[in-house]
Chains A and B, each alone.
Chain A
Amino acid sequence: MNGRRFESTVAAVGAVATAIGFSSAALIVWAVLDEAGRTGFEKALNVLVPIGLALVGLGGFVAGRFFRSFMLAARRMTEETDLIASVNPAHRLDPAGPAHLRKLGWSINRLAGRLWESLEEQEVAVEAGRRAVEHEKERLAALMSDLAQGVIVCNLDGQILLYNGEARHLLADDDSTYVGLGRSVFAFLDRNVALNALHHLQLRAERGAKVRPQRFIATVPGGQVLRMTMVAVRSTEGNFTGFVLTMEDVTHERAARGRRDQLLRSLTHESRRSTAGIRAAIETIRSYPEMPADDIDRFRSVIADEAERLSARIDEVSAAHASTLESAWELDDMLGDDLVLALANRVVASTGIEVSTDVRTESLWVKVDGLALIDRLTAVTTQMVEGAAAAILAVAMQESGRFVVLDLSWPDSAVTELAISGCIQEASDSHDNLESLVDRHGGEVWCEFGTDEKPFLRLLLPKAVAVPALAVRVLDEGRPEFYDFDLFEQRDTTDRLDERPLRDLVCTVFDTETTGLNPSTGDEIISIGAVRILNGRLLRHEAFDQLIDPRRPIPAESFEIHKISGDMLVGQPTIDVVLPRFARFVEDTVLVGHNVAFDLKFLQLKEGTTGVAFTNPVLDTLLLAALVYPDSDVHSLEALARLVGVEVTGRHTSLGDALVTAELFLQLIPLLEARGLKTFGEVQTAERETFYARLEY
């Protein structure tokens, strides 16, 4: 029953009650009077009946007014008290209506004050625990974001539960795909390839074998070739619940290997051809000593020609592919200072002798197999300590053209040239000798002599061309909300959207800014902002934020609202580029917006030109709020947000409004649940009813 009908009912009841009272009084008087009195009373009634009727009307009116102010104020107080009890304990009533009701209002406010205090006390206790958990999370987050490798954790359905910035960078380098919590990893990774690796992991586990990581190579949509390592995630009972993928970009490595193979093939082929020509010519000349001079000349020019061609080809190949040939080994870029420091530490640790260093290269990078090199040089020093009683190692580094010169000398010992040469040539059990190790680096090693004619070991190592881009790439993202391990447990959730609880929905909350209010007469979208909600959590870092060139001027009145000028839109993509991207961003999610019909209208009008149809299920926070506050006349996003205790910042950018809408939506969920609206289906049905009710209104 709505307020108006209730009010008229109360008025009618008031009027009837007054009428009954008046009639009863008249009947009683009539009964106790004698004949004369009754005649007088009849006369009096002629006057009293109109007065009585007036009194009946007045009685009805007064009752109606009283109930109106009392009942409506009581109902409003109930709603506000619910609000305090559920999502916004900071809210206070503004008592109105009759004095008793106002007193009740003050009492509720006092109670709310007590509730607030006790909540605060609780919060202090919870805060301490929360901070400890948060600290752990931060450590994990920092660890993940610092990793040079991309990491992704998925459940068995391929839903992403965790990812780091590098994984996002590697998997979604262009704008065609999105990495996000709850999204499917199979958008980037061939399902069969991944499942095959997973199958192998499972097989091994079932046989009781030690589960080793599975490695495979995969090409992702951006075209990069990634080397993936898959490890199984198992529950405490030993069941497979998901997998961890680590990945690194081997595109360049693969390309280099490809170039090497091709180089080898072409070189072999061309050498054979030229050598065949030379050999046939010279063998022919020698077999026919009587050959006429003209013929000999022809053969000679064949030999000269082929020899020259072969020389030229070798020069060309070694010049163009020097880096290809030398990158055959996995060498890392290392800071020269670090190499010397690591060597010194290692020598001190394993021999105990004194090490002095003299590094004249500042922030100079070398390309080395650092571990192997330090290994071999430490072994050399050990030999000098044992064979020549060396007690000091002097390490010096300086720059020389495209190389770095690394010198090792043992100034206090009688180290001989023979001993040093021996160390260079000598092979150990497991490694190749120093000479071939340095050779692998594209460097040189030999025994050099100082000004005092003392022999020492000199290495020439190639400088690294540049610091690898990966190592210095600054992550501009803050700490992302990049994991949601609840997804591990989500295998049994229903596929039927209608039956899914509101808090289990994957939603995209969005907002647009436009040039005006009438899409049908040429107004256009100039910005779309969106954020995702997963398992009742707002994923601020998985946002969509895009300005759009509307190909028309911005009217002054719309500029006043969004402050986006035409200049800001120069060079931005047009709607036909942005909408397909946005469609991928919102794929498989429920669209949520405030007064979303307005934004949808713009999107729908573009269906024809962009070919992108938004068929996602939709929820509107304006209608949801109406379900929670049926009598409220508050409709604006900002006022509603404040009502449920959402801090409003950054309004009137699409992303800012989308964020506020998302928080409003999250606050509305428990309020809807309190009214028995728990699943998507229930909410949508109720939403539709209130929508039509409003239309009728």
Chain B
Amino acid sequence: MSARVLIVDDEPNIVVSLEFLMRQEGYEVEIANDGEEALESLVSFRPDLVLLDVMMPRLSGFDVLQRIRTHSELPNPVVIMLTAKGREAEAERGRALGADRYITKPFSTQELVAVVHEVLDTR
């Protein structure tokens, strides 16, 4: 059975590419357009991996990550954080909250695919 990937981002333009890339790699994909939707999908879709954008309205990526790591009733997938800010303090905060990887936009699509493979393989 192929792994399930949840893409959480409020920018449709990047979602188009991410969705296409993940499907090409053979993963099952679901999209959430903000933090609230992401929490719902976590329960319904039960992803193995979440590509999680930091800056989102309503509930930020950090908030979602914190819920995932602190609420034991939620599934506990691998989380790769995506951010446009790219500050070291932000990455440190992501690590502190339990993100597995931290990728700064813009990124190379090949690299992203490689990282996804790596974290899913070492899971």
Binding site for B on A (CB under 8 A): 307, 310-311, 314-315, 318, 322, 400-403, 405, 442-444, 446, 448-449, 453, 458, 460, 462
Q: Which of B66, B86, B96, B106 contacts A400 (CB 8 A)?
A: B96
Question: Does A460 contact B89, Cβ atoms closer than 8 Å?
Answer: yes
B93-106 interface bits toward A, Cβ cutoff 8 Å, 1 = contact, 0 = none: 10011000000101
CA distance A449 to B69 in the complex (A): 11
Closest to A447 in B: B66
Q: Within 8 Å CB of B73, what residues of A? A: none
Question: Does A460 contact B106, Cβ atoms closer than 8 Å?
Answer: no
Question: Does B106 contact A444, Cβ atoms closer than 8 Å?
Answer: no
9 contacts between A and B (CB under 8 A): A310-B106, A315-B104, A401-B92, A402-B92, A403-B89, A444-B93, A449-B66, A460-B93, A460-B96
Question: Does A446 contact B93, Cβ atoms closer than 8 Å?
Answer: yes
Take A311-B106, A400-B96 as given contacts and tell me if A444 and B70 are in contact as well, using a CB distance cutoff of 8 Å.
no
Besides the contacts A400-B92, A444-B93, A446-B93, what 19 more A-B pairs have beta carbons closer than 8 Å? A311-B106, A311-B107, A311-B108, A315-B104, A322-B87, A401-B92, A402-B88, A402-B92, A403-B89, A405-B96, A442-B88, A444-B90, A444-B92, A446-B66, A446-B97, A449-B66, A460-B89, A460-B96, A462-B89
CA distance A405 to B70 in the complex (A): 19
Q: Within 8 Å CB of A460, what residues of B? A: 89, 92-93, 96
Closest to B69 in A: A449
Question: Does A442 contact B70, Cβ atoms closer than 8 Å?
Answer: no
Question: Does B106 contact A307, Cβ atoms closer than 8 Å?
Answer: yes
Q: Which of B70, B89, B106 contacts A443 (CB 8 A)?
A: B89
Interface residues on B, range: 10 to 19
Q: Within 8 Å CB of B86, what residues of A? A: 318
CA distance A68 to B90 in the complex (A): 102
The 4 tightest CB contacts between A and B, nearest first, are A444-B93, A311-B106, A444-B89, A443-B89
A416 → B minimal CB distance (Å) = 15
CA distance A321 to B94 in the complex (A): 22
Take A403-B92, A462-B89 as given contacts and tell me if A453 and B106 are in contact as well, using a CB distance cutoff of 8 Å.
no
A46 → B minimal CB distance (Å) = 131
A623 → B minimal CB distance (Å) = 73
CA distance A462 to B91 in the complex (A): 13
Closest to A458 in B: B96
CA distance A307 to B109 in the complex (A): 12
Looking at chain A's contact residues, the main secondary structure is: mixed
Q: Within 8 Å CB of A310, what residues of B? A: 106
Q: Within 8 Å CB of B107, what residues of A? A: 311
Q: Within 8 Å CB of B88, what residues of A? A: 322, 402, 442
B20-77, CB < 8 A from A: 62, 66, 70
Q: Which one of A322, A444, A448, A460 has the highest number of Cβ atoms from chain B below 10 Å of its Cβ? A: A444
CA distance A443 to B88 in the complex (A): 8
CA distance A326 to B86 in the complex (A): 13
Closest to B84 in A: A314
Q: Within 8 Å CB of B62, what residues of A? A: 446
Question: Does A453 contact B70, Cβ atoms closer than 8 Å?
Answer: yes
CA distance A403 to B86 in the complex (A): 16
CA distance A443 to B93 in the complex (A): 9
Question: Does A314 contact B106, Cβ atoms closer than 8 Å?
Answer: yes
Q: Within 8 Å CB of A405, what residues of B? A: 96
CA distance A449 to B63 in the complex (A): 12
CA distance A300 to B88 in the complex (A): 33
B86 → A minimal CB distance (Å) = 6
CA distance A462 to B90 in the complex (A): 11
B121 → A minimal CB distance (Å) = 26
B20 → A minimal CB distance (Å) = 16
Closest to A438 in B: B89
Q: Within 8 Å CB of B87, what residues of A? A: 322, 442
CA distance A446 to B88 in the complex (A): 16
Q: Within 8 Å CB of A462, what residues of B? A: 89
Question: Does B70 contact A449, Cβ atoms closer than 8 Å?
Answer: yes
A604 → B minimal CB distance (Å) = 65
Q: Within 8 Å CB of B106, what residues of A? A: 307, 310-311, 314
CA distance A477 to B90 in the complex (A): 46
Q: Within 8 Å CB of A403, what residues of B? A: 89, 92
CA distance A453 to B70 in the complex (A): 8
A409 → B minimal CB distance (Å) = 16
Closest to B90 in A: A444
CA distance A310 to B106 in the complex (A): 9
CA distance A322 to B87 in the complex (A): 8
Q: Within 8 Å CB of B89, what residues of A? A: 403, 442-444, 460, 462
Closest to B87 in A: A442
Q: Within 8 Å CB of A400, what residues of B? A: 92, 96
B102 → A minimal CB distance (Å) = 13
